[in-house]
C-alpha cells in the first residue's frame, strides 16, 4: 500500500493506492492527530508527504515518510491526472485554489511559480462569515449558487446604461460597487452576499491567472484546489471569466488531490 498526503492549512488530502486502485479522502487539518493514528495502524504502508503541515505530521507517525516540496508534488500530480484523462498540454498555467492561491507556469517537464494571491478558500470562508454569520462551507456554496450578484456588483454595462461599451459589458467594474446604487430599492439577502463573495474571489484568481498566461505566452489555464469542491458558482465564475478574456480553462476531476498523488509519484521515482 502507498499513501500520499498533502497536509495543508485547511484540509488534509489523502490518496491511497492499493493493488493498483487509487482512492481519495480528506479531513480537516484540525484532525491531524486522527490522521496520524490512522497511519500508525498501517505500519507497512509506504507514506509520502507534502504541504505546510507535512513535517509536523511526520513527527506524529512511526513511518519514515518521503517528503517533497509542495509545488513540485502538485505539478507532478497534475501531470498524472492530465495523462489519465488524455489531455496533452505542452505548456500551461496552473492555479491551485486552496486556502490561498498559488499560480505556476509549466513548460514541458518544468514548473515555475509565477505568483499568487490571498484570495481563495480562506477568503471565501472568512468573508462569508463576516457578511452572513455562516461557517459551514457546503452551506456557503449552495446558498451562493442561489444568490444574485447583479444587485451587489457593478458591471461595465451598468455604467454605460445601454450605450456601446469599450470592453465586454459583463465584466465587473467594481466588486460590491453596486450596493450604494441599490441600497434604497433592494434587499440584499445572505444568498446575494455569498454570491458576491464567490464573484470577487473567482474574478481575482482568474485575473491573476490569465495575466500570468499572457506573460508566459500560453492560452491554457488549469484550475485545481479544494475551493472548487461542491462550488458550482465559483467554477462558473472562473470558467466564464477565463473564456471571456480569450483563454482556455481546464478543471481536473479530483484535482484537489494533485499534491497527494504527486508526492506519491515522486516517492516512486526516487525509489527507482
Question: Is residue 242 helix, strand or coil?
Answer: helix
Q: Output the CA angle 141-145-154, nearest 5 degrees.
A: 110
Distance from the first to the final alpha carbon of the chain: 17
By the 8 A CB rule, do 205 and 120 touch?
yes
Pairing of strands 91-97, 66-67: unpaired
Taken in order 234, 236, 237, 238, the sign of the CA dihedral is positive
Residue 77 in contact with residue 258, Cβ under 8 Å?
yes
- Whether 219 is catalytic: no
Of residues 17, 70, 150, 203, which has the active-site annotation?
A: 70
CA-only gyration radius of the chain, Å: 20
Q: What span, in angstroms and rounded, lies between the C-alpha atoms of 79 and 75?
A: 6
Q: Which residues are catalytic?
A: 70
Amino acid at each position: 500500500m502507498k499513501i500520499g498526503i498533502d497536509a495543508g492549512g485547511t484540509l488534509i488530502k489523502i490518496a491511497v493506492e492499493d493493488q493498483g486502485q487509487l482512492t481519495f479522502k480528506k479531513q480537516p487539518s484540525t484532525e491531524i492527530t486522527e490522521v496520524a493514528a490512522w497511519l500508525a495502524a498501517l505500519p507497512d504502508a509506504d507514506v509520502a508527504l507534502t504541504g505546510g503541515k507535512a513535517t509536523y505530521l511526520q513527527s506524529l507517525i512511526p513511518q519514515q515518510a518521503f517528503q517533497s516540496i509542495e509545488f513540485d508534488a502538485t505539478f507532478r500530480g497534475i501531470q498524472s491526472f492530465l495523462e489519465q484523462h488524455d489531455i496533452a498540454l505542452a505548456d500551461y498555467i496552473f492555479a491551485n485554489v486552496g486556502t490561498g492561491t498559488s499560480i505556476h507556469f509549466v513548460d514541458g517537464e518544468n514548473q515555475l511559480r509565477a505568483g499568487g494571491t490571498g484570495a481563495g478558500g480562506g477568503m471565501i470562508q472568512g468573508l462569508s462569515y463576516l457578511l452572513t454569520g455562516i461557517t459551514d462551507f457546503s452551506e456557503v456554496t449552495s446558498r451562493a449558487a442561489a444568490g444574485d450578484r447583479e444587485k451587489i456588483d457593478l458591471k461595465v454595462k451598468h455604467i454605460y446604461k445601454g450605450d456601446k461599451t469599450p470592453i465586454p459589458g459583463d465584466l465587473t467594474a467594481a466588486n460590491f460597487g453596486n450596493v450604494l446604487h441599490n441600497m434604497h430599492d433592494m434587499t440584499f439577502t445572505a444568498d446575494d452576499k455569498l454570491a458576491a463573495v464567490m464573484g470577487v474571489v473567482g474574478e481575482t484568481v482568474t485575473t491573476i491567472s490569465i495575466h500570468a498566461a499572457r506573460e508566459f505566452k500560453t492560452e491554457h489555464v488549469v484550475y485545481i484546489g479544494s475551493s472548487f469542491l461542491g462550488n458550482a458558482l465559483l467554477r462558473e465564475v472562473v470558467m466564464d471569466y477565463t473564456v471571456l478574456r480569450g483563454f482556455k480553462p481546464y478543471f481536473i476531476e479530483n484535482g484537489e488531490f494533485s499534491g497527494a498523488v504527486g508526492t506519491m509519484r515522486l516517492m516512486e521515482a526516487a525509489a527507482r
